[in-house]
């Protein structure tokens, strides 16, 4: 079943928002996720990247750039505690 334009936009916007979860989790200069161990941070960013990868599988976003989303997935997968 094809997704509506509204469904595509909502998913795209959610994925863009998830980029900040990965960035903020891995940025030790802010207070976000500082209560997590490095292993817990890895689990959090890998879980988030999994959601992003699921969204990327649709590949029906038209002209919207997926570069930042793909970069966030790569960043999450590269993190080692």
Q: pTM value?
A: 0.90
Range of 44's domain? 5-78
Stated as kind and residue range, the H or E segment containing 72 is: helix 67-78
Residue 7 has what pLDDT? 94
| Tens-place pLDDT, residues 64-74 | 999 999 999 99
| Tens-place pLDDT, residues 12-59 | 999 999 999 999 999 999 899 999 999 999 999 999 999 999 999 998
**Structural contact between residues 52 and 79, judged by C-beta atoms closer than 8 angstroms:** no
What domain count does the chain have? 1
CA torsion 29→73→41→15, rounded to 10°? 80
Residue 59 has what pLDDT? 87
């Amino acid at each position: 079943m094809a997704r509506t334009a509204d469904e595509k936009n909502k998913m795209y916007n959610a994925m863009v928002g998830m980029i900040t979860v990965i960035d903020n989790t891995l940025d030790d200069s802010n207070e976000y996720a500082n209560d997590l161990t490095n292993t817990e941070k890895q689990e959090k960013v890998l879980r988030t990247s999994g959601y992003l990868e699921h969204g990327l599988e649709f590949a029906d976003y038209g002209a919207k750039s997926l570069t930042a989303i793909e970069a966030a997935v790569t960043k999450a997968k590269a993190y080692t505690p």
